[in-house]
Structure 1
Amino acid sequence: MTATDWTTDVEGTGRYAEVNGINLYYETHGTGHPLILLHGGLGSGEMFGPVLPALAARHQVIAVDLQGHGRTADVDRPLDLRTMADDIAALIDHLGLDRPHLVGYSLGGGVALRAAVAHPEKLGRLVAASAHVRSDAVYPEMRAQQGQVSGAAAEFMKDTPMYQLYQRVAPRPEDFPRLLDKIGALMAEDFDLTDEVGDLRVPTLIVAADADMAPPSHYVEVFRLLDGGLRDGGWGNEGRPKGGHALAILPGLTHYNIFTSPLFAAVTLAFLDEPAG
């Protein structure tokens, strides 16, 4: 499906947590082993409305609104994925969670990867969807578009689901241009997480659409960094990646609808719920 409306009818319990210098909004759905869910850029936890019921049927889902997004007001610091990863680590401590799983899409996937790099002892399993690990992995035309994102574009985005969601739920709706400025600055930064990802100690599922913002070959490359795709898996799984990592390329999807797809929910649950090997 193509997401044209980022509202949701899924009801959860919403609260705020004062952590790491920010008043972080989160909603809790369902029961079971905790799963922290991190949305994409310019969105909020509500983006996952279509897949929340499936996830919450098996887990206590904690859907977070990241800095400056959704119901979490911005603070006086840049949008930095490492800082936002520290926000999530502080939230885990604040809620007293025992090694929750962490599932992130796009911006949230980047935050999730950095949380797993910096705070592996706090996490169970990791699912990083549509999150590239090198800035140059994105198609050149997409990088050019990202470089043009700024507050000046706010007026032209009034018919988009990102703008409409922000106006409906943000504590300060007038901050949307500021968020665009910060997102633009973040996307303009060059980064390369190759070495850090190769050292990941959290069992990780790399997920991408077959027509994502970076080519499928990039996500295969990430899987290789995680000891995947190097040999036959074996009848008894003895040849699978040593860290318990996995890869899923989802058919018929794009960067802009993967997070609402039943396939995304299905592979996420299959990976999170498989017995530790």
Structure 2
Amino acid sequence: MTDTDRATDARGTGQYADVNGINLYFQTHGAGRPLILLHGGLGSGEMFGPALPALAEHHQVITVDLQGHGRTADIDRPIDLWFMADDIAALIDHLGLDKPDVVGYSLGGGVALRIAARYPAKVGRLVAASIFLRRDAVYPEILAQQGQVNAAAAEFMKDTPMYELYQRVAPRPEDFPRLLDKIGEAMAQDFDLTEEVRGLQVPTLIVAADADMAPPSHFVEVFNLLDGGLRDGGWMNEGRPKGGHALAILPGVTHYNIVSSPLFATATLAFLDQ
């Protein structure tokens, strides 16, 4: 969830929406069928680099700063991905969007998956990048690093892109240690999304780096739950997953730079626009 990718200077039309008890910041880019784009942990809508303008050439892209991130101030509740999913569902209603596609990465991918699981009637297609079924799917050394994320780490993060971005755009820059505490607490929580994934009712693309926080086999396991990778696809696609699901393992990238790779936008658009 703590994603170290560089922010982009892409600019859109920014505004706030009071929904579900939080004042959510979002930007709108481009035109076309709506696409909600959700960033990773400690990031903001700017973290998608060149993928954002590429997506906005084909869609109306709405980037949202999640609770306590970017230009959205924190509120008095934990960082909980189900709460954040409720926020985005309320934003969809607030904006009057008709089944937008939802694309999320890492923390945002977990939120996107939960939106599709809880509010399937509100979502067109889902792209979930670098997401995990269970906490223990992540490599043990990464879990150990996540265990060190707390307010005390703020001093050591002052040279990172995440800290620089937060100081530049956050309504209360002094809240960064509090965000680290909350993110650390969120990452320490155990979870299992097996049944939620198995029950997904919207066409879903699972995206991962070939050198992600979990092994490629984990993302194949997610695809298996979606009726994928169980048989030959067939000459007429008759053996593909019944729900229209797909899997993309992107070569030569990691958890930390996957969304700035041109392959991310290419794979996402190929799935959304097929």
Once residues 65 and 206 of structure 1 are traced to their aligned partners in structure 2, the CA distance between those partners, rounded to angstroms, is: 22
Q: Deviations over 1:129-184 (max 9, x none)?
A: 00111111000111111111100000000000010000000000000000000000
Displacement of 1:4 in angstroms is 7.4
Question: Is it true that 1:30 corresponds to 2:30 in the alignment?
Answer: yes
Displacement of 1:5 in angstroms is 6.9
Unaligned runs of at least 5 residues, structure 2? none
The SS at the match of 1:10 is coil
The SS at the match of 1:250 is strand
Q: Deviations over 1:210-239 (max 9, x none)?
A: 000010000000000000000000000000
The SS at the match of 2:83 is helix
Displacement of 1:7 in angstroms is 3.6
The SS at the match of 1:208 is strand
CA RMSD of superposed structures (Å):
1.0
The SS at the match of 1:185 is helix
Once residues 56 and 224 of structure 2 are traced to their aligned partners in structure 1, the CA distance between those partners, rounded to angstroms, is: 31
Q: What amino acid sits opposite 1:242 in the alignment?
A: K
Q: What amino acid sits opposite 1:17 in the alignment?
A: A
Q: What amino acid sits opposite 2:204 in the alignment?
A: T
What corresponds to 2:103 in structure 1? 103
* Native 8 Å contact 1:103 1:128 kept in 2: yes
What corresponds to 1:224 in structure 2? 224
1:82-97 to 2 correspondences below 5 Å: 82-97=82-97
Q: Does the C-alpha gap of structure 1 residues 220 and 165 become closer, same or farther in structure 2, counting only changes over 3 Å?
A: same
What corresponds to 1:41 in structure 2? 41
Displacement of 1:10 in angstroms is 1.6
* Native 8 Å contact 1:38 1:105 kept in 2: yes
What corresponds to 1:140 in structure 2? 140
Question: Is it true that 1:176 corresponds to 2:176 in the alignment?
Answer: yes
1:163-242 to 2 correspondences below 5 Å: 163-242=163-242
Q: What amino acid sits opposite 2:186 in the alignment?
A: L
Q: Deviations over 1:12-47 (max 9, x none)?
A: 000000000000000000000000000000000000
Q: Does the C-alpha gap of structure 1 residues 134 and 5 become closer, same or farther in structure 2, counting only changes over 3 Å?
A: closer
What corresponds to 2:254 in structure 1? 254
Q: Does the C-alpha gap of structure 1 residues 114 and 5 become closer, same or farther in structure 2, counting only changes over 3 Å?
A: closer
Once residues 117 and 4 of structure 2 are traced to their aligned partners in structure 1, the CA distance between those partners, rounded to angstroms, is: 34
Q: What amino acid sits opposite 1:209 in the alignment?
A: A
* Native 8 Å contact 1:48 1:260 kept in 2: yes
Once residues 42 and 144 of structure 1 are traced to their aligned partners in structure 2, the CA distance between those partners, rounded to angstroms, is: 18
What corresponds to 2:52 in structure 1? 52
Displacement of 1:52 in angstroms is 1.0
Corresponding pairs, count: 272
Once residues 200 and 12 of structure 1 are traced to their aligned partners in structure 2, the CA distance between those partners, rounded to angstroms, is: 31
Once residues 106 and 76 of structure 1 are traced to their aligned partners in structure 2, the CA distance between those partners, rounded to angstroms, is: 23
Q: Identity across aligned pairs (percent)?
A: 81
Q: What amino acid sits opposite 1:138 in the alignment?
A: V
User: How does the TM-score come out when normalised to structure 2?
Assistant: 0.98
The SS at the match of 1:64 is strand
Once residues 65 and 93 of structure 1 are traced to their aligned partners in structure 2, the CA distance between those partners, rounded to angstroms, is: 17
* Native 8 Å contact 1:31 1:57 kept in 2: yes
* Native 8 Å contact 1:6 1:165 kept in 2: no
1:59-78 to 2 correspondences below 5 Å: 59-78=59-78
What corresponds to 1:80 in structure 2? 80
Q: What amino acid sits opposite 1:139 in the alignment?
A: Y
What stretches of structure 1 move > 6 A for 4+ residues in a row? none
1:101-140 to 2 correspondences below 5 Å: 101-140=101-140
Once residues 75 and 116 of structure 1 are traced to their aligned partners in structure 2, the CA distance between those partners, rounded to angstroms, is: 24
Once residues 43 and 8 of structure 1 are traced to their aligned partners in structure 2, the CA distance between those partners, rounded to angstroms, is: 11
User: How does the TM-score come out when normalised to structure 1?
Assistant: 0.97
Displacement of 1:89 in angstroms is 0.2
Q: Does the C-alpha gap of structure 1 residues 73 and 4 become closer, same or farther in structure 2, counting only changes over 3 Å?
A: closer
